[in-house]
Structure 1
Amino acid sequence: MKHIIISAALSAVTLISTGCSGFLDEEMKSTLGPDNTYTSSYGFELAATGLYGWARSEFNTWGEATTSQGQACPYEMFQIATDIVHQGQQMDGSLKPFESLSYTPSTTFVVSYWNWGYGLISSANELLKYADINTNWDNDTDKALYQATARFFRAYAYRYLVYLYGDVPYVETIETNYRTDFTRTPKAEVLEKMINDLKFAEENLPENPDKVETGKLTTWAAKHLLSEVYLMAGLYTEAKTKADEVITSPYFHLMQQNERFGAEKDKPGDVFHDMFIENNQNRTSGNMESIWVMQYEYQTDGGGGAYDDWTRRAWNPRYWDKLEGFTLADSLGGRGLAQIVPLTWWIEDQTDFYDANDIRNSEYNIKRHWYYNDPQYPDKVGKEAPITKETREKNQIYPVITKFFYGKADNLTYEGNNKDRMKFRLAETYLLKAEACIQLGDTKGAKEAINAVRKRAGATEISESQATMDFLLDERIRELVGEELRRFTLARTGKWLERVKKYNSYSAHMDEHHLLLPIPQYIIDLNTGAEFPQNPGY
């Protein structure tokens, strides 16, 4: 365990020194370390930027980042074996164990997410340690600001660890001696620590999102995450209160249908589609719904790289792969790999899953019609290509969400998805509130929260009797599919097993023990000084 923490901290220094343009000159990079970094507000800003960089690599595939997950499908692991997708193309083996539920304590992502989480925690703890020592601050508020940033990211890392592994060691200091006697802290205690961190963060992060650098945290991001963590802890009144604080904030509102904005506001489309167009994620574009946005801009210092986020490749079909009449195009999402494919029950089979006027079901947001585009076949260009059993089985064309359509005309084979990523947006805050209300038996409050989201979409408003957990989970598909980590949502609401068995025949043999990943085996092997039990079933 100590080995993970120390090596992760060293990796964080490397990430900080190489990923933050403008903070360091070349000759300083080889000498960067905690003792000569944490000596001023400038140094703490550098370290905080490193935390953002570490967090941003949560779906990094391989290469390029210190915190790579080591295989092609880390993001997909959070979507597969749920109620929304099945595995598409089979060429990469990293996803298969998660659909077949055959992962082991040595499976790549089982190990890499443990390391990613504790790496981020270690870096946060290091910043907090030196913040307590440092006396050289530019402003009286700097110390609390950087502590708040570190504590937010520590809670953010534990969010992953608790969802994935259950009881995990809570580490809040940098260990100076080698330890082999870590124990698993009960989940309830870890959640309490996370809540304390996020309370500190909400009190000490900036309030006005228009007065911080794009992508930086504010009190509202802490409140949004705190609402979710309260739900995880079963503190539903507190979850509702925090969601309400964000919803009633003067800084955010749901983007309504008459508020077209951004790069394509004068082109055919709708406001929901606008949110997912490149460069439309931040407030500077006019998007008043985004609460926290990870920065991944293409070919931009401090942005993402080709391996940081392959969500586009995951969702988008292989229309370009031996399907006569099609060629690569940025307008069709670039070079998709169809690593995950939507289950037909929600996107194709049920004619009433979306209301007729629901803009989230428009052609701009779900592509159900594919038109030939290859000039080598002039007789076909512009004509509609039929979706058939064969095109589905070959993962070539089928109905698909367009949230992750992204291609670069200057490099059509480019792997990355370098659009900024909306991590928290207001529509989800409304749905977190609805979840809290349902758990409290407040069907009126749940109805109102859900209807706020549906009204923006042009969907029919629901009644109190319809405000159930299953309806809410369906609504989260309509609104947040691909954005949320579906594995987390289903685990938190206690509906995972039920809905997989109902909707997903590919993973229908799931049982209770699959709801947690195994503890990485090497952690158990190294921790010889205390009992460190494996999760049941492994």
Structure 2
Amino acid sequence: MKHYIYKGLIVFAGLSVMISCKKSLVENNPSGITAESVYTTPAGFETLVNAAYSYQRWWYGKEEGHSISEMGTDLWMSGAGDINTDLTQYINLQGTNAAITTEWQQLYAAVNLCNAGINKIAGAGLSSTARPIREAELKFLRAFYYWHIVETWGGVHFSLNETQGVITTANKTPVETFNKQIIDDLLFAVANLPSTTADYGRVTKPAAQAFLSRMYLTQKKNTEAKDMAMAVINGGYGFTLLPAYADLWKMSNLKNKEVVYTVNYSTNLSLNDLIDPILNPLGHSRGSNSGHMLYAMKYDDQPGMLRDLANGRPFDRYMPTRFLLDLYDENDSRYEGSFQTVWYANGTTRPAGMKIGDTAILATKKVFPSAGKLYKVFDRNAVYNANGSVKDQLHYVSLSKFADPTRTSINEAQSARDVFVIRFAELYLIAAEAEFNLGNPGAAATYLNVIRTRAAKPGKVAAMQITPAQVTLDFILDERAREFAGEQIRWFDLKRTGKLQERVKAFNPDAKSITDFNLVRPIPRTQVDAVTNESEFTQNPGYQ
């Protein structure tokens, strides 16, 4: 679906009122096309569905989404360039946070678009074959967006109807209502989606089943979670774990058999909504995937090094906790498959004796004396203090999963890298967690060992196997960290398991300010200030 935003032509007059946090709306419709006219033709309705997909790009591959879903956990600390330290460290986190405000706006815009399509699909003139599929796609997307909303903010505004006109009130709806609707929408999607699609990026039946298994696990319906995960694993859909973990992240291998659901980006960057005043009426730049910059350390300030495509554009936003690095043992290939530890000399100005291509920088989680080395060493003791807090926020082992050396220039911020939302590996880990919760550690170990077998270095498979006695909820969370570090799921994992505060306080010295009310995020203050029913639609407790 590389083209889905380019073809969109709709602006929704009522859409931005609830979610733009303003009591008045300035409409902008340079095409002259109205929502109502678009709804009533098959071609026009397709643009609605395509636009509904596009809002996923506001979260996946974006700094705001990474800040909300990965930071403030046990795995990541602030690099020197972190611009959302309130999210990362829980210090003075309030409803004025820009990332929180952006995601609230866009997620509700997405829900409103899904509601509009679902409620008006009967008049769109779709064929009897196309209609249930498009309705299933919209219901999947509504569930997808509502999950992000309810997990992030709790029981906030909920509606199944399109917002039209000026709306100045909002409701507070129980989490249980969100959860029921999410399951209902996903069951409809599973029943009506095709097993495969020729239009890459559209949701399929196995993708809906996979997301449903994640939702069942979130809602503590463990038997259902296990059964739905196994329906994907044993469903004959052709998914498989790639033999080498590192191969997942090659730009030449993005469409691989481990990807169950993806948010895709076009190699034609102009199609990724960097500027789109029609489909993007809130006036922000969305652009392409920026994940490649966020976890990269500052390397181009060191002798022998210049910024280049291979090493990327370092925004230095986030760095790993020492705890995360220590989760990988010497038998686990996912460490080398996830992180960059060596930078090779590429500059004309180098220390005497250093040649182009020689090691210029080594970042290591080990203690590694630098005496007698031409290259710069940032070892465990140079980067972290004894208690795990940060000593050097500029130089550290860097997550390299999202690197994109195919960008057109060294300062290009936009990447065409697709974002893997659900990988086949997650189904095994969902099944393992569900089995453990059901009191079956033996079955849990079996599923964990499938993942650990793939992760093992050559000749180390036996050493990577675990026994049922070793399975705990913390071990499962450790395994998910090793497998999914940086993949925009960690905060939700810790919240789902009730381990967010415990593990953040134990393993992240940056974020020990976390407290009970941080289990949900603050509602944007502009939204709270805009409503006229302030006594009913109140800020989440603990925030201003």
* TM-score category, normalised to shorter length: 0.7 to 0.9
Task: Measure, in 2, the Cα distance between the counterparts of 1:508 and 1:40.
Answer: 54
The correspondence of residues 415-426 of structure 1 with structure 2, limited to 5 A, is 415-426=413-424
TM-score, length-normalised on structure 1? 0.83
Asked if the contact 1:298–1:304 (Cα under 8 Å) also holds between the matched residues in 2, the reply is: no
Match of 1:275, SS state, is helix
SS where residue 30 of structure 1 aligns? coil
| Cα distance in 1, alignment partners of residues 264 and 135 from structure 2 | 21
How far 1:520 sits from its partner (Å)?
2.2
Q: Do the aligned partners of 2:19 and 2:527 also contact (CA within 8 Å) in 1?
A: no
Correspondence for 2:111 among 114, 117, 121: 121
CA separation of 1:485 and 1:95: change in aligned 2, threshold 3 A: farther
1:267 corresponds to which residue?
A: none
Q: Which residue of 1 aligns with 2:3?
A: none
* Matching residue of 1:366: 339
Cα separation, 2, equivalents of 1:9 and 1:468: 41
Equivalent of residue 462 in structure 1, options 460, 463, 466: 466
| DSSP-derived class of the 1:346 partner | helix
SS of the residue corresponding to residue 441 of structure 1 reads coil
Partner of 2:541: 536
Local SS of the residue matching 1:387: strand
1:480-534 CA deviation, whole Å, 9 max, x = no partner? 1111321111111111100001100111121111111122233333332461232
SS at match of 1:117: helix
CA deviation vs aligned residue, 1:98-128 (integer Å, no higher than 9, x gap): 4243111222122222211111000101111
SS at match of 1:93: coil
Displacement of 1:4 in angstroms is 7.9
Match of 1:323 in 2: 302
- For the residue of structure 2 that corresponds to 1:405, the secondary structure is coil
Bigger shift: residues 41-50 or 401-410: 401-410
The CA distance in 1 between the partners of 2:33 and 2:166, in whole Å, is 23
Q: Provide the residue aligned with 2:314 in structure 1.
A: 336
8 Å Cα contact 1:335-1:407 kept in structure 2? no
Figure out how many residues of one structure are paired with residues of the other and give that number: 483
Distance 1:520 1:397 in 2: 34
Does 2:309 match 1:309? no
Q: How many Å apart are 1:157 and its aligned residue?
A: 0.8
- How far, CA to CA, are the matches of 1:452 and 1:416 in structure 2? 35
* Corresponding residue to 1:451 among 449, 452, 468: 449
Contact 2:189 2:205 in 1 (8 A): yes
The 1:447–1:97 alpha-carbon spacing in structure 2 relative to 1, beyond 3 Å, is: closer
Structure 1 103/408 Cα, relative in aligned 2: closer, same or farther at 3 Å?
A: same
Q: What is the TM-score with the length of structure 2 in the denominator?
A: 0.82
- The answer (yes or no) to whether the contact 2:18–2:163 under 8 Å persists in 1 is no
CA pair 157-173 structure 1, distance change in 2 beyond 3 A: same
| In structure 2, C-alpha distance between the alignment counterparts of 1:164 and 1:302, rounded to whole Å | 29
CA distance in 1, matches of 2:217, 2:91: 27
What is the rounded CA distance, in whole Å, between the counterparts of 2:226 and 2:141 in structure 1? 22
Q: Distance in 2 between matches of 1:83 and 1:214?
A: 34
Residue number in structure 2 paired with 1:262: none
Of structures 1 and 2, the one scoring higher in RCO (CA 8 A, sep 6+) is 2
Name the residue aligned to 1:477: 481
Cα distance in 2 for residues equivalent to 1:100 and 1:298: 36
TM superposition shift of 1:221:
1.2
Distance 1:416 1:401 in 2: 18
210, 215, 230: which one pairs with 1:224? Answer: 210
Q: CA deviation at 1:398?
A: 2.4
Identity of aligned residues (%): 26
Which string of whole-angstrom CA distances, capped at 9 and with x for unpartnered residues, describes residues 447-488 of structure 1? 111111111112511111112111111111111111132111
Partner amino acid for 1:197? D
Q: Where do 1:70-85 residues align within 5 Å?
A: 73-85=64-76
Deviation of the 1:256 alpha carbon? 4.3
Match of 2:279 in 1: none
Instruction: Report the 3-state secondary structure (helix = DSSP H, G, I; strand = E; otherwise coil) of the residue aligned with 1:150.
Output: helix
Q: One-letter code of the match for 1:337?
A: F
SS of the residue 1:422 aligns to: strand
Equivalent residue runs for 1:184-263 within 5 Å: 184-208=172-196, 211-257=197-243
Question: What does residue 264 of structure 2 align with?
Answer: 295
307 and 101 in structure 1: CA distance in 2 versus 1, 3 angstrom threshold: farther
162-171 or 373-382: bigger deviation? 373-382
Residue identity matched to 2:309:
D
SS state at 2:262 partner: strand
**Partners in 1 of 2:190 and 2:524 — Cα distance?**
33
Classify 1:526/1:76 alpha carbon distance in 2 versus 1 (closer, same or farther; 3 Å): closer
Question: Which letter does structure 2 place at the counterpart of 1:319?
Answer: Y
Match of 1:260 in 2: none
* Equivalent residue runs for 1:86-165 within 5 Å: 86-90=77-81, 93-134=83-124, 136-137=125-126, 139-165=127-153
Q: 2:330 matched to which residue of 1?
A: 356
Question: How far off is 1:361 after superposition?
Answer: 2.4
In structure 1, how many angstroms separate the alpha carbons of the residues matched to 2:67 and 2:163? 34
Distance 1:479 1:4, change over 3 A: farther
Instruction: Give 1:404-415 correspondences, 5 Å limit.
Output: 404-408=402-406, 410-415=408-413
C-alpha change, 1:339 and 1:511, in structure 2 (3 Å) is same
> Any stretches of 5+ residues in structure 2 without a counterpart?
1-11, 21-27, 275-285, 362-375, 385-390
Structure 1 distance, partners of 2:16, 2:67, is 29
Aligned-partner Cα distance in 2 for 1:173–1:103: 32
Please tell me the residue identity of whatever aligns with 2:541: P
Deviations 1:372-414 (A, max 9, x none): 2223327323333332266785545422232112234630111
* Structure 1 residue 382 corresponds to structure 2 residue 357: yes
- Whole-angstrom distance in 2 between the partners of 1:41 and 1:415: 36
Give the letter for the 2:331 counterpart.
N
Secondary structure in 2 matching 1:125:
helix
Structure 1 residue 177, shift from structure 2 partner: 5.9
Residue 23 of structure 2: aligned partner: none
In structure 2, what is the Cα distance between the partners aligned to 1:457 and 1:158?
Answer: 33
Distance 1:296 1:133 in 2: 31
**Distance apart, 1:74 and its partner CA:** 4.2
Q: CA deviation at 1:29?
A: 6.7
Task: Extract unaligned runs of 5+ from structure 1.
Answer: 11-17, 19-27, 62-71, 258-270
Q: Is the 8 A contact 1:387 1:398 kept in 2?
A: no
Measured in 2, the distance between the counterparts of 1:424 and 1:158 equals 17
Aligned counterparts, 1:430-449, within 5 A: 430-449=428-447
In structure 2, do the counterparts of structure 1 residues 146 and 301 end up closer, same or farther at CA, with 3 Å as the change threshold? farther
Who is 1:272 aligned against?
245
Please say if residues 71 and 88 of structure 2, whose CA atoms lie closer than 8 Å, have aligned partners that are also in contact. Answer: yes
